Amino acid sequence: MYNPFITTDIKMLDLSSLQQALKPYIQGRKVLVMGSKRAVADAGLSGLSAAFYHNIPSNPDVRDVAACLLSLTCAKFDVVVAVGGGSALDMGKAVACMQTRLLDADAVRTFIKNPDYSKVIDVIAIPTTAGTGSDVTQWATVWDGQRRQKLSLDHPCLLPRASLLVPELTASMPPLLTLSTGLDALCQAFEAFWAAEREPVSQEMAVHAVELVRDNLPLVLNGYQSGRKGMMMAAAFAGFAFARTRTNICHTISYPLTLDYGMIHGLACAVTLAPVAAFNHEKLPEISRLFKLFGGPISFETWLYEIADPIQPLRLQKLGVPRGDLQKIAQDAMIMGRMDKNCREVTSADLLGILYKAY
């Protein structure tokens, strides 16, 4: 039986054609638009005949999902249009699963751990950042700050029905968010390339994503809007790649960094990328193919740190992590994520060594 690589309709659009492209997915249907007021307005969707939900926090928590569901008062929608970065898209997916339920935070936790995907409605993703990959993957992250957990919804039905890519919508990102989301895409590509479940197709897409980030992230950080389309393509190709393999070591280390220090996601992943790449290279020499895109392993590290330094240096010390916390971070990371998805077995001692190198 033929299995398509991805079922999401992906369209690259100008802002002026967004509403027309959206119309076939929402016409005659009861629509919920989720996104900040600014994101929805920038996309030109404020006038849609739809219900709107604007309270989209960064790194949505189980309590945020519960508050959204309560505000909807069991209204039944046919489609969610999620406009924004990864947080808006993840919130949209969560609501698409639970929309007819009035759940408190405990019930949201229970649902995520024992999900029922039988009534998931369509999600139309309109990303306004370039990096998370949520618009082309089947996962949604919901945090549980009270219990210090990162929870995930995970099912093919959570693949958005469509991803409408409008590079103009990323132009308002401040430099820190541009850097963070771009480095998130870079980490996803590296992790897909060396993943335990890597395959030739996913590796080729990962390589292309890395090339696109290398060529376009410096452009957008220096104010050249011509790089915006390339960064959206980089995010899409990185998403395609890690959709096949899942993320692994860098993302796993990022979870306690985000939970305990409020570290922005892309930086929390990228801060260990160079030492993790060196660690995995000992097991998988073909990682040199990625290094060569930058001129070699030393040149890659130089590129990575130099692109971040003017905005936010990629060092744990500079990101507010006390040196005495590194052992606890290593221990927490071992139990929180997907170390088994890495190409090389990882111990807590390995993680501690990586964290010291990233300090």
Read off the amino acid at residue 173: M
If asked whether residues 96 and 59 sit together in one domain, one would say yes
Does residue 4 form part of some domain? no
* Whether pLDDT at 137 is above 90: yes
If asked whether residues 197 and 120 sit together in one domain, one would say no
* Whether pLDDT at 111 is above 50: yes
If asked whether residues 137 and 191 sit together in one domain, one would say no
Query: What confidence tens digit (pLDDT) does each residue in 58-98 have?
Result: 999 999 999 999 998 767 899 999 999 999 999 999 999 99
If asked whether residues 106 and 239 sit together in one domain, one would say no
* Whether pLDDT at 100 is above 80: no
If asked whether residues 238 and 329 sit together in one domain, one would say yes
DSSP state string for 144-165: ETTTTEEEEEE-GGGS-SEEEE
Does residue 3 form part of some domain? no
If asked whether residues 218 and 71 sit together in one domain, one would say no
If asked whether residues 135 and 177 sit together in one domain, one would say no
* Whether pLDDT at 270 is above 50: yes
The pTM of this model reads: 0.95
CB-CB contact of 228 with 171 (8 Å): yes
Does residue 305 form part of some domain? yes
Quote the percentage of the chain above a pLDDT of 90.
91
Tell me which of 108, 134, 168 is where a domain ends: 168
If asked whether residues 157 and 200 sit together in one domain, one would say no
What secondary structure letter does DSSP report for 141? E
Range of the domain at 232: 173-358
Please write down the long-range contacts of 53-60, taking CB distance under 8 Å and 24 or more positions apart: 53/95, 56/84, 56/87, 56/88, 56/91, 57/87, 58/87, 58/264, 59/87, 59/141, 59/143, 59/258, 59/265, 60/87, 60/90, 60/91, 60/94, 60/142, 60/143
Going by C-beta distance under 8 Å and a sequence separation of 6 or more, which residues neighbour residue 337?
150, 248, 251, 252, 253, 255
Does residue 85 form part of some domain? yes
Q: What integer pLDDT is reported at residue 184 of this predicted model?
A: 97
Strand partners, 152: 141
Query: What confidence tens digit (pLDDT) does each residue in 283-316 have?
Result: 999 999 999 999 999 999 999 999 999 999 999 9
Does residue 135 form part of some domain? yes
Query: What confidence tens digit (pLDDT) does each residue in 39-48 have?
Result: 999 999 999 9
Does residue 1 form part of some domain? no
CATH number of the structural domain spanning residue 319: 1.20.1090.10
Tell me which of 168, 203, 222 is where a domain ends: 168
Does residue 125 form part of some domain? yes
Q: How far apart are CA 292 and CA 269, in angstroms?
A: 21
CB-CB contact of 203 with 192 (8 Å): yes
HSE toward the beta carbon, residue 119, CA cutoff 13 A: 11
Please name the residue that has the structure tokens 């964290």.
Answer: 355
Mean pLDDT of 236-242: 95
Does residue 184 form part of some domain? yes
If asked whether residues 244 and 151 sit together in one domain, one would say no
If asked whether residues 228 and 338 sit together in one domain, one would say yes
Q: How far apart are CA 278 and CA 304, in angstroms?
A: 14
- pLDDT band for 101, please (50, 70, 90 cuts): confident
CATH number of the structural domain spanning residue 58: 3.40.50.1970
Task: Say how many domains are in the chain.
Answer: 2
Q: Which residue has the higher pLDDT, 339 or 73?
A: 339
Q: How far apart are CA 239 and CA 245, in angstroms?
A: 10
Going by C-beta distance under 8 Å and a sequence separation of 6 or more, which residues neighbour residue 119?
97, 99, 100
Tell me which of 148, 168, 188 is where a domain ends: 168
Q: How far apart are CA 333 and CA 171, in angstroms?
A: 34
If asked whether residues 209 and 316 sit together in one domain, one would say yes
Query: What does pLDDT average to over the chain?
Result: 94
Given its phi and psi angles, is residue 129 left (phi above 0), alpha (psi -120 to 50 degrees) or beta? beta
CA torsion sign for 354, 141, 133, 248 is positive
If asked whether residues 25 and 80 sit together in one domain, one would say yes
